[in-house]
Amino acid sequence: MESHKTFKLKKVLKCRSQILRDKSHIFSSNNLKVFTGSSLVYWLLNNYNPFDWKNHGQYVDWMIDGADPTSEERQKMTRHIYEELYDPALAHQAIYPVDHNSGFFDSEGHLYRFVTEQFDHWRQDPQVLNLYNVHPGSNKLFCELEDGAQTIKVDQIMQEMREIIEKIYKDYTEQDGTIVGYEGLRNSQFWNLKYIAFVSKLAFVDLSGILKNDNLTKAFFMNVYNMMAIHAIIAQYNDKKKLEINANTFNMYKYNIAGHNYTLNDIQHGILRKNSPGTKVTFDAGTSFFSFKAQGPRLNNADPRFKFMVKNSDPRVNLALCLCGSALRFYDEKNIEKELDSVAREYCNKEVEVIEDRNIQVGGLFKEYLSDFGGGNVELMDWILRYCEDRSVKKKIEQLKREETEKECVEFKKFSHEVNNAKK
C-alpha cells in the first residue's frame, strides 16, 4: 500500500448518505442502508475525489468526466477500499460485510454496511445483548468523536468493571459468590440503569492496550465472560420466563466488543484457550448434564478477533469462569497469578477426592479440557499435586504414581450445572 492515505474516514462517512440515496446503485428499495461492493467502487470513482492532486497527480486519470472507470481503475480503488476502510485489522473499520466475512469485493453479489448503520443494525438484534435497544448516550464511534477526542481505553473499562462486579457480588450473590440472584438483579434499578449502560461501552472500547499483554487479556476477557454469562441467563429468562442454561447460552448470545461480536464460546475457546479446538455443547434438560464434543479452532488468522487471543494458554482459566462453577469475582491484571492460583486450589480442594481408598475422583472440567491439563491422567495428577491441599488426596496420588497405576485409577465426575439462582 502507498505510504499516503487515500481516504479521510470522516469525509467518506459523511458522504455515505449520498451513496445510500443514489437510486441507480441502491441494492434494495426495502433496505436503503445496504449497498453492494461494486456500487461503492463506482460511486467513489465518479463522485468523490480522495486524492491530493498536487502531491499525487498520477491518480488524475481516475476521474475522467463522462467516462466509465477502467478495469484497472476499479481494481485499484477496490484495493484502497479494502486496505483503508474494510480491513478488519484496522484500528477503525468503516465498512462491514452483511452476508459474508471474506473481504471486500467489487461485486453486485456482496453486500456491505457503513459502521454507523452496522451499529444501528446491532441495536435491533436481540442476540447482541450489550447493544440491543440501548441508546448510545455518550458513547461515540471513532467517526463521531470531535477532533482530538479519545476512544474509551481498556484501563478505564477495567476500573468501571471492577465496580460493577463488586456491586453484584455484594448485593446479588450468596455462598461467597457461587450463587447469583438473577431475578433480583434483573428487576433492580442497578441492572437497568448502571449495568446495561456499562456493558454498552464495551462496543466502543479501544483494545489496542491488551495486545502483547497476556495478563491484561486474561483479566479483561474473563471478567467480560462472567458478566456476559449472567446477561445471557437473564436474556433467556426474559424470552422463556425460565432460568436455564443451554447451548444457546454459549453459542447464540453475543457481546459486541470494539466493533466485533463474541459469543461465550468465542471468548473461552478462541481468546482464552488460544484457539484450542472448541466444544459443541449439548444439554440434557432432564438431568442437567452437559456433554461436550470437540470441534475445530473458532478463529482463523483472517478473523479480526484473532490478534487479541492470548499468546500462552493457561489451564487455570477454565476453572475461573462462572458457568464452570467458579465464584463470581473481579480479576485484576496485576494480581492475576495469585487469583488464578486461588481458583485452582479451590477447585482441586472441592472436586478432587479419594473414593473407597482405591481411586481418585476428579471434577468433570478436567475431562472436558484434559488437553489443557497435560493431555493424560498422569499429567493431570502432576498438575493437581501443585494445587491440592488435602493431605489424604496428595498422599493417594503420590502412591498411585509410585505404583504407576494413575492411568487406571482416575475417575471423572459428570459435569452437571443447574442455574445457580439465589433468593436475592
44 assigned to some structural domain: yes
Residues 329, 359 within the same domain: no
Instruction: Evaluate whether residue 127 is within a structural domain.
Output: no
Dist. CA 411–CA 355, nearest whole Å: 9
Question: 133-147, 180-194, 266-280, 352-366 — which one is most confidently predicted on average?
Answer: 180-194
Spacing of C-alpha 123 from chain mean position: 17
Do 326 and 383 fall into the same domain? no
What is the tens place of the pLDDT at every residue in 158-188? 999 999 999 999 999 887 777 888 889 999 9
The last residue of a domain, from among 337, 358, 387: 337
| pLDDT for residue 69 | 67
Q: What are phi and psi of 57, to 5 degrees?
A: -65, -15
* Three-state secondary structure call for residue 4: coil
pLDDT of residue 138: 78
Do 371 and 332 have their domain in common? no
Beta strand extents in 165-212 (DSSP E only): 173-174, 179-180, 205-206
Kindly state whether residue 422 falls inside one of the protein's structural domains.
no
Last residue of a domain, one of 310, 337, 364: 337
Give the Cα separation of 113 and 309 in Å (integer). Answer: 27
Residue 385 falls inside a structural domain:
yes
DSSP 188: S
188, 193, 194, 197: CA torsion to nearest 10 = 140
The answer as to whether 401 is a domain residue is yes
Q: Establish if 57 belongs to a structural domain.
A: yes
212-269: pLDDT as tens digits: 899 999 999 999 999 999 999 999 877 666 677 777 788 899 999 999 999 999 999 9
Write out the residue range of the structural domain in which residue 351 sits. 342-412
In the block, cell 468501571 appears at 160
Distances (CA, A) of 315 to 179, 222, 340, 375, 398: 23, 13, 10, 11, 22
Closest CA to 362 of 415, 320, 323: 415
pLDDT at 55 over 60: no
290 and 305 in a single domain? The answer is yes
Task: Provide the 10 A C-beta neighbour count for residue 175.
Answer: 10
Q: Are residues 313 and 404 in the same domain?
A: no
Asked whether 94 and 117 are in contact (CB, 8 A), the reply is no
Question: Do residues 370 and 303 share a domain?
Answer: no
Are 386 and 345 in contact, with CB atoms under 8 Å apart? no
pTM: 0.86
167 and 292 housed in the same domain = yes
Q: Are residues 223 and 275 in the same domain?
A: yes
CA–CA separation, 187 vs 158, rounded Å? 25
- Strand residues in 9-50 grouped as ranges (E): 35-36
Q: What percent of the chain has pLDDT over 70?
A: 80
Amino acid of residue 236: Q
pLDDT band for position 1 (50/70/90)? very low
State whether 304 and 384 are in the same domain.
Answer: no
Do 305 and 352 share a domain, yes or no? no
Pairing assessment for the beta strands 179-180 and 173-174 based on DSSP bridges: antiparallel
Measured from the Cβ of residue 82, the count of other Cβ atoms closer than 10 Å reads: 18
According to DSSP, residue 1 is labeled -
CB 203 within 8 A of CB 257: yes
Question: Which three cell numbers, joined as nine digits, stand for 341?
Answer: 492460583
Q: What is the CA radius of gyration of the chain?
A: 25
- Do 25 and 84 have their domain in common? yes
* 53-57, 194-198, 306-310: least confidently modelled range: 53-57
Residues 285 and 202 in one domain: yes
Residues in the chain: 424
Name the domain boundary from 118, 140, 170: 118
Q: Report the percent of the chain where pLDDT is more than 90.
A: 40
Q: How many domains does the chain have?
A: 3
Spatial CA neighbour of 59 closest among 41, 81, 69, 19:
69
Residue 237: inside a domain: yes
Nearest to 154 by CA among 338, 308, 269: 308
